[in-house]
Amino acid sequence: MAKRIVILVMLAIAGLTAGFWLGHRNQPAPSASDASDASDAAVAQLLATRLPDLKGNDQAVSQWKGKTLVVNFWAPWCGPCVEEMPELQALSTEFGTKNVQFVGIGIDTAQNMIAFEQKVKVDYPLLVAGYAGTDLARALGNKAGALPFTVVIDPKGRMHYEKLGRITSDEVRAALKPLI
């Protein structure tokens, strides 16, 4: 009886493997336009999002449509996020008159973000996404779900740049240069 079960399990595994292989062998590799379509859909999803700011007021990300957006996914408990925040603040001031809008999307509670903002002043909008912000970041290309994660979206709503990990002022300037 045990021998018969082992044989059936082996046949089932072989059948599943063959089915998986046959199902995927004829699928075309994603093209550049498919990747572009996916990032366009992710940007559209981001622009359709409404999140509360630190005062609890709902903010539509779409209010900044038509501007170059620098969207930084961060959290107060993330060391590299905390390190880059003063630089992002300085860049927000530097590019404020050039149709560039910085937005911070926090992967934490409003209470923790408010406590952080009282120590590190930021004049650009900080929106509270909680852990749902991780899904937004993943849709935009952050497959690891790690922080910090920064994207630059051009005024037409197309993804222009993405960076997982701490971003430097020079990297932001280089990403913005062709867009302003």
Look at the chain and report how many structural domains it folds into. 1
Domain with residue 131: its CATH number is 3.40.30.10
Amino acid in position 128: V
What's the pLDDT at 110? 96
- Distance between CA 78 and CA 113 in Å, rounded? 12
- Distance between CA 175 and CA 180 in Å, rounded? 10
Residue 103 in tokens? 């937005």
Domain that holds residue 128: 32-177
Task: Produce one character per residue of 97-127: b if its CB has 16 or more CB atoms within 10 Å, e if not.
Answer: eeebbbbbbbbbebeebeebbeeeebebbbb
- How confident is the prediction along the chain (180 residues), in pLDDT tens digits per residue? 656 554 444 444 444 333 333 333 333 434 444 456 667 899 999 999 999 999 999 999 999 999 999 999 999 999 999 999 999 999 999 999 999 999 999 999 999 999 999 999 999 999 999 999 999 999 999 999 999 999 999 999 999 999 999 999 999 999 999 998
Which are the catalytic amino acids? 78, 81
